[in-house]
Amino acid sequence: MIPEIEIGPLTLQTFGLCFAAAFIVSGAIVGVRLKELGKPVDWAYEMAFAALVGGIIGARAHWLLENWDEASEDVLGNIFSGSGLVWFGGLIGGTLGVIIWARWRDYLNLGLLDLAAPALAAGYAVGRIGCQLSGDGDYGVAWDGPWAMAYPDGTVPTTEEVHPTPVYETLTMTGVAFVLWRLRNRLTGGLLFALYLLLAGLERFLVEFIRRNEDVALGLTQAQLFSVAMVIAGVVWLAVGLRRPPAEPAAV
């Protein structure tokens, strides 16, 4: 594990580096798609910045709510701490940030959702590399399989061999991003985003069975409950959208 990289007097957190890289990769994907759509490529930087600010605020707020007993002892210190980010909170905060940006640019429509879908999947895949490098506790339950790993030098260390779930998620969501990108011209009107909800929700639902998170209801973790909602929303959206008749071609 490499939680930190020291360059002279400067110490860099690998999780933070991958977090930043996730936004760079996502922004690059959005930029390519905007160019294809004939929109200003600079919007990609604006959109990524809005998602970054909203994502950090949301991820931090979610962590504080989940760990209030610990955080309440030093609220200000925990707000500005360099650790403690929750992905679902980041998703909500980042989404709100992009919505605010889209309203400002008068681009708040279903096409915006389709634009974001491949970038969201790719950014998640890159972000999980940071979880793997830092050993931040997002690994799985004990396992003695052929590629089981221990994280003795991680931010949340363990000498017990476990499922390297960040690796699973990076590989799976890279595949999801590829599929979404290939379908970007075939699924429109929000349907590409609906497919993202289905695939991303399914991925997270399944991987939670071998992660260390605690059950909160119905034998499921909090992440699984969110994932079920994502899958249901994606399935219903796709079912309704794909049954609609194709739009009439515009008159020449």
Average pLDDT over residues 111-123: 94
Position of tokens 């929700």? Answer: 201
CB 26 within 8 A of CB 33: no
Q: Crossing angle for the helix pair 110-134 and 191-207, nearest 10 degrees?
A: 30
Look at residue 67 in the predicted model and tell me its pLDDT: 65
Cβ neighbors of 243 (< 8 A, separation 6 or more) are none
Q: What is the pLDDT of residues 200-240, one digit of tens each?
A: 999 999 999 999 888 888 889 988 998 999 999 999 999 99
Kindly report the pTM of this predicted structure.
0.85
d(CA 174, CA 176): 5
Picking from 44, 149, 53, the residue whose alpha carbon sits closest to that of residue 102 is: 44
**Mean pLDDT over the full length of the chain:** 86
**pLDDT higher for 71 or 117?**
117
Least confident of 15-24, 80-89, 125-134, 196-205: 80-89
Longest distance between any two alpha carbons in the chain, whole Å: 69
Cβ neighbors of 165 (< 8 A, separation 6 or more) are 138, 139, 140, 207, 210, 211
**pLDDT higher for 12 or 187?**
187
**pLDDT higher for 51 or 161?**
161
Look at residue 87 in the predicted model and tell me its pLDDT: 62
- The residue length of the chain stands at 252
